[in-house]
Amino acid sequence: MIDFALSDELIELRDRVDVFIRDEIIPLENDPRQEYHGPTDDLRLEMAEKARAAGLLTPHGPTQYGGLGLNHREMAVVFEAAGYSTLGALALNIQAPDEGNTNLMNIVASEAQKERWLRPMVEAKIRSVFSMTEPDGGAGSDPSLMKTTAKQEGEEYVITGRKWLITGAPGAQFNIIMAKTEDEKGDDLGATMFLADMDEPGIELVRLLDTMDSNSPGGHGVVDYKGLRVHKDNVLGEVGKGFRYAQVRLAPARMTHCMRWLGAARRAHDIATQYARERMAFGKLLGEHEGVGFMLADNENELHLCRLSIWHACWVLDQGEQGRQETSMSKVFCSEALGRVVDRSLQILGGRGITAETVVERIYRDIRAFRIYDGPSEVHRWAQARHIMKRN
């Protein structure tokens, strides 16, 4: 039986995060250091210093590098509290892609690679990117379509190709690159992950994409690799095991998206609830009208069920299992249910909801992209259906 009870220590940590977010971070949500594509690094670093002073920085990171070393279940509780602000994940250094890259490197990277890149990332001194998705019929939900190549030349690999929707590329210090790998004879070695500093010759930020979400510094870019040379010492893990490592990264990352967006949806619901308690319409409070009251009830139901879904999937991950089915199901359910929560919240607010008078309009735009991040719902359902058909 799964025990969903929270320890006293975890409750205390959750409450500290909640107070920190409300007192220190929510007041910064209208800070002008937020550009079209996302918050500036200046704002990120200022918030990270606040989190460091509060003892809350990088709660998922390994303790030897300054993180809090939380397991997945503990992360679920803390990440939800951080997600209550649109800037909360960035403040605690748990924003994608750094959060997922921290988990991946902690498991796969060599000690030298950890000292060079993981330690400063956990300390929030640098940002990273994860380059897998490609345009023009390349790798996306189907990674087998990968066009970017890495050809071995002696002790180096020469990487050529184009990636897009690369989150946080402007201002990032290093890059994890997925590429189809060939040895010196031209034989296919499978996909491999490579580490490279972003200022290396051969990496070019082509342009930024205009997207509906605006929660990550730098937004989403198109990046070209033109003969980028990477020494064999900067292979992440082993050659040819890139797809296996991608699952190490993606399964937990699906859940951390769910955790953060649960906090954001709860914020939207709280704002709508308060409005329904104050706004008079047709002789009574808005929330006393059955249509609005039912929407609030549906919100509470789906918030609760999402939390249980996340906790169950995290329990599976904490047992040392890969949890692909559990995390996939939870990601589909939460991305769609939380989107409905925010949609209802905006509807309850009426005309006020479509303005920037509340943060709900911002959350509404940002959360829609959640159904695309880390695989759209249809791909997860397709994979689940295949699993069902193969089951005895």
* Secondary structure element (H or E) that encloses residue 129, with its range: strand 128-131
Distance CA 121, CA 146 (A): 27
Per-residue burial over 299-327, b = 16 or more CB atoms within 10 Å of its CB, e = otherwise: beebbeebbebbbbbbbbbeeeeebbbbb
Q: Where exactly does CATH 1.20.140.10 map onto the chain? A: 243-390
CATH 3.10.520.10 fits 8-122, yes or no: no
Distance CA 205, CA 37 (A): 15
Q: What angle do CA 368, 330, 385 make, to 5 degrees?
A: 100
Cβ pair 190, 240 in contact under 8 A? yes
Cβ pair 292, 348 in contact under 8 A? yes
Instruction: Give the end-to-end CA distance of the chain in Å, rounded to a whole number.
Output: 24
The structure tokens listed for 194 are 């490579």
Please give the chain's pLDDT, 392 residues, in tens.
677 789 999 999 999 999 999 999 999 999 999 988 889 999 999 999 999 999 999 999 999 999 999 999 999 999 999 999 999 999 999 999 999 999 999 999 999 999 999 999 999 999 999 999 999 888 888 888 999 999 999 999 999 999 999 999 999 999 999 999 999 999 999 999 999 999 999 999 999 999 999 888 989 999 999 999 999 999 999 999 999 999 888 888 899 999 999 999 999 999 999 999 999 999 999 999 999 999 999 999 999 999 999 999 999 999 877 778 899 999 999 999 999 999 999 999 999 999 999 999 999 999 999 999 888 999 999 989 998 998 86
Residue of 187, 185, 182 whose CA lies nearest to 161: 182
The structure tokens listed for 10 are 């975890």
Q: Which CATH number fits domain 243-390: 1.10.10.10, 2.60.40.10, 3.40.640.10, 1.20.140.10?
A: 1.20.140.10
Distance CA 322, CA 342 (A): 30
Residue of 221, 79, 75, 236 whose CA lies nearest to 159: 236
Distance CA 247, CA 104 (A): 9
pTM value is 0.94
Distance CA 13, CA 74 (A): 9
Backbone angles phi, psi at 250, to 5 degrees: -75, -35
Burial of 190 by CB count in 10 Å (0-12 exposed, 13-18 middle, 19+ buried)? middle
For the domain made up of 128-238, give the CATH fold: Butyryl-CoA Dehydrogenase, subunit A; domain 2 (2.40.110)
Q: Where exactly does CATH 2.40.110.10 map onto the chain? A: 128-238
